[in-house]
Structure 1
Amino acid sequence: MKSYPFPHHVKDKERLLFWTQEQVLPFIGMCMVGIVTDMLTIFMIIGVAFGWAYSRYSDGKPDGYLLHKAYWMGLMPMKGRGFIYAYHRRILPK
């Protein structure tokens, strides 16, 4: 039987049973798409595959890697004074 670590600190990832939020969200999203399109079983299988693929992809990467990647590619614009436009790669002084 595989043992799972119990979160002891505030910074630890929240879990739903055995899975982290990042692993459960693709499954829940695909279930919603499956309910809307009336093909729940197929989209549940796709959701499990997406969750598994994401967990395999993010194992060696730091937390928030995909959010950073989406921001850097310009897919997730952020508001605020601390964020610059993602496509401005060089910042020159005034």
Structure 2
Amino acid sequence: MKETRIPTRADMPPYLLVWSSDECMPVLLGLGLGIMLNQVFICTLTGLVIAHFYRKFRDLHPDGYLFHLFYWYGFGFARSKTMLNPWIKRLIP
């Protein structure tokens, strides 16, 4: 049997400069909201602070922890065929 090399970074999110795509979203949303509200500096700075705390949160927890947390409290996945409703605690066959 021949060994197959599996790349370690195949499923990593794309990067924009030094941030991953999920870390860029609060900054870009803050920038867009700041342009609409005419408060660019304040909203972009708020986005940077949120991205900083999100990075700390993400580094302390395993991958997918935030999605599992959202699922547990009932956010999202309303029409999912593979995930059950999180509010159903007892399944009757």
TM-score, normalized by length of structure 2?
Answer: 0.81
In the alignment, structure 2 segments of 5+ residues that lack a partner are 1-6
Q: Any gaps of 5 or more consecutive residues in structure 1?
A: 1-6
Name the counterpart of 2:44.
44
4+ residue segments displaced more than 6 Å = none
Contact 1:26–1:50 (CA<8 Å) still a contact in 2?
A: yes
Q: What is the aligned-residue RMSD (CA, Å)?
A: 1.8
Distance 1:36 1:91 in 2: 47
Give 1:67 shift. 1.7
Q: Deviation of residue 78 (structure 1)? A: 3.7
Task: Tell me the percent identity.
Answer: 25
Larger Rg: 2
SS in structure 1 of the partner of residue 60 of structure 2: coil
Equivalent in the alignment of 2:24:
24
Partner in structure 2 of residue 65 of structure 1: 65
CA distance in 2, matches of 1:10, 1:91: 37
Aligned length: 87
Q: Hey, what does 1:13 align to over in structure 2? A: 13
